[in-house]
Amino acid sequence: MFQIQNTYIFIYFSLYLGGGMKHETIRLAHGAGGLLTSRLIKDVILKYFNNKIIKRLEDSAEVNIKSRNIAFTTDSYVINPIFFPGGDIGKLAICGTVNDLAMKGAIPEFISFSLIIEEGFPFRDLEKILKSASRAARKAKIQVVCGDTKVVEKGKADKIFITTSGIGIIKIDLTKEKIKVGDVVLVSGTIGDHGITIVNERLDLGLKSSIKSDVAPLNLITNKLFNFKSSIHFMRDPTRGGIVSVLNEMIDKTPYGIMIQENDLPIKREVIGATEILGIDPLYVANEGKFVAVVDRKAARRILKRIKSHILGRDAAIIGEIVKKPKGVWLKTKIGGTHPLLQLEAEGLPRIC
């Protein structure tokens, strides 16, 4: 149904789907993490659910329970295929939600696990998914405390969808307002691994490849960063829409820009190879085990070292900085050019998570 044929995919989508809310029906791109998704949320959903907390549109909501700052988040997982190199929908549903809590500077504590299953789904696959979710939860030290199971008729869902919600205790106060000129932007590891793995699987291109999804619980790293409290200003995990979407969201409504150095971007050789064949820009591709952090320049090296000391962060790198001008997100290319990294109408792939 959804095919990637050439490098023009983004342009094609932009033209075909441009205009956002004027469409009368929901399109795939409304769920792909690009501008259309963000317009759907801002123009439609926030019209009805409007309060100070949800309006911040952060990875987790910050709620106050009896004067405790609690992070609360939810995500539905509809990834296709449900099993892929490096993980499956169960592991993803745990890690994705754990990561949203971690990005809020929280220690993930409790998670819910709700299943929508298509009639005829094999028990064997269900058990594989539950087993891998359970292993991920153990690794992330989060307890699955509640759940739900719904079944719909054959043909009324695609195999299995999982929705998880997480609760965590906030340890670092991270807000955009802390971002300032001179801050350093770092990424916790190589980018593009998850998205390229899924595309490779889905299109069955037979790319002989050692690429696998990076899906992992990021709190294993972020829990170690709490003593850099005041030096860490903001964190996001670049899932749907990739690193470009996250950088644009970070800088949105701030008076600053971000300058990224192409030379410093950690990208696996196999991922670059695959993106060239597939005609996809890895900067727009989803990750499920990486985060981008904006940190104080003075502490940047020490924070980087701490991240690299964990196996999940071994490829971490400083990739750019917050600048006064130009506004927006920019890439300084290897040959010395400077190009804007724009959030496109529908840069993401559907059902990547």
Minimum CB–partner distance for residue 150 and a copy of itself (Å): 5
Residues ≥6 apart with Cβ < 8 Å to 252: none
Return the H-helix or E-strand segment holding 295.
Answer: strand 292-295
Give the nearer residue to a copy of itself in terms of CB position, either 119 or 276: 119
Using CB under 8 A, which of 18, 139, 141, 157 touches a copy of itself?
157
- Report if residue 263 touches a copy of itself, rule: CB under 8 A: no
And the tokens for 196?
């390229």
Minimum CB–partner distance for residue 353 and a copy of itself (Å): 8
Q: In degrees rounded to 5, what are phi and psi of residue 121? A: -65, 135
Give the nearer residue to a copy of itself in terms of CB position, either 30 or 194: 30
Q: Angle 73-230-241 (CA atoms, 0-180°, nearest 5)?
A: 40
And the tokens for 296?
């104080």
- Report if residue 204 touches a copy of itself, rule: CB under 8 A: no
- Report if residue 226 touches a copy of itself, rule: CB under 8 A: no
- Report if residue 336 touches a copy of itself, rule: CB under 8 A: no
The number of residues that bind a copy of itself (CB under 8 A) is 83
- Residue 66 has a CB neighbour count (10 Å cut-off) of 5
Contact region with a copy of itself (CB under 8 A), list: 165-173, 196-204, 207-215, 321-329: 165-173
- Report if residue 167 touches a copy of itself, rule: CB under 8 A: yes
Minimum CB–partner distance for residue 191 and a copy of itself (Å): 22
C-alpha torsion 91→89→171→62, nearest 10: -160
- Report if residue 39 touches a copy of itself, rule: CB under 8 A: no
**Residues from 174 through 203 that contact a copy of itself (CB under 8 A):** none
- Residue 136 has a CB neighbour count (10 Å cut-off) of 25
Closest CA to 285 of 295, 271, 303, 298: 271
Using CB under 8 A, which of 42, 81, 83, 165 touches a copy of itself?
165
**98 neighbors 222 (Cβ within 8 angstroms):** no
At which residue do the structure tokens 């829990």 appear? 223
Minimum CB–partner distance for residue 182 and a copy of itself (Å): 32
Contact region with a copy of itself (CB under 8 A), list: 146-154, 200-208, 288-296, 311-319: 146-154
**285 neighbors 329 (Cβ within 8 angstroms):** no
Residues ≥6 apart with Cβ < 8 Å to 258: 185, 247, 250, 251, 320, 321, 322, 323, 328, 329, 330
Minimum CB–partner distance for residue 247 and a copy of itself (Å): 21
Minimum CB–partner distance for residue 316 and a copy of itself (Å): 27
- Report if residue 5 touches a copy of itself, rule: CB under 8 A: no
Alpha-carbon distance values, 225 to 165, 181, 321, 348 (Å)? 23, 22, 20, 30
Give the nearer residue to a copy of itself in terms of CB position, either 39 or 176: 39
Minimum CB–partner distance for residue 251 and a copy of itself (Å): 22
Using CB under 8 A, which of 123, 204, 210, 253 touches a copy of itself?
123
Minimum CB–partner distance for residue 242 and a copy of itself (Å): 17
Using CB under 8 A, which of 11, 15, 53, 311 touches a copy of itself?
53
Minimum CB–partner distance for residue 27 and a copy of itself (Å): 6
Contact region with a copy of itself (CB under 8 A), list: 144-152, 199-207, 208-216, 243-251: 144-152
Closest CA to 116 of 146, 159, 73, 84: 159
